[in-house]
Amino acid sequence: MGKNRECAESCIDYLALALVHHYRTQGQGPSLQAALDAVGERTGRQLAERYARDRPPLLDQLEAVKFVCKEFWGEVFRKAVDNLRTNHRGTFVLRDTQFRWLVRLAQNQMPAQVGQPLPAPLSKADLAADFLVLPCALVRGALAQLGWDVAVTADATSLPQVDFTLVIRQQPQR
């Protein structure tokens, strides 16, 4: 069932862009942050479930984070993380020097809807903040699926480089 099926890489870009655009312009319902958190976390869990299906549980912090840096990042963001640092007390910083989702997305914006005025241009930082909600939630969901409760934030002040900070809040129950 669809296991080795492929689609164009741009499909996921269009979808991520449409999601941000939808929740940015939606006058009612959940905030962009809340909605994309939920969408990404569910997807991250499902992906991690698939990628980690045939491996033993990752009970060591570093092993779990390495799985995210290599396998998860490689599949979802199309390259491995470039640099991993840790304070050895549950905080990890993952640096991606060419974060693929923003490289492509930040260059393009939705066209104006016909008959509506052009939206005001957004600063690069605002644009990045909205586009980072989904990737952060994907990573959080993946680790949640592996049993780790982790807070994920991202810093995109030096685009296209993005630093993801993972703070582990709770170990899996053994």
* Cβ distance to other proteins smaller for residue 30 or 62: 30
- Shortest distance, CB of residue 101 to other proteins, whole angstroms? 11
Q: Which of residues 37-56 bind other proteins (CB under 8 A)?
A: 38-40, 42-43, 46-47, 50
* Cβ distance to other proteins smaller for residue 40 or 64: 40
Q: Which of residues 99-118 bind other proteins (CB under 8 A)?
A: 108, 110-111, 113-114
101 SS3 class: helix
* Cβ distance to other proteins smaller for residue 38 or 59: 38
- Spatial separation of the C-alpha atoms in residues 125 and 106, rounded to whole Å: 10
Q: Which of residues 123-152 bind other proteins (CB under 8 A)?
A: none
Residue 27 makes contact with other proteins by CB under 8 A: no
CA nearest neighbour of 164 among 113, 106, 91, 111: 91
CA nearest neighbour of 80 among 63, 97, 56: 97
Give the Cβ contact number of residue 10 at 10 Å: 10
Q: How many CA atoms lie within 13 A of 14 on its CB side?
A: 5
Residue pair 142/134 in contact by the 8 Å Cβ criterion: no
List of residues contacting other proteins (CB under 8 A): 1-12, 14-19, 21-22, 29-30, 35, 38-40, 42-43, 46-47, 50, 75-76, 78, 108, 110-111, 113-114
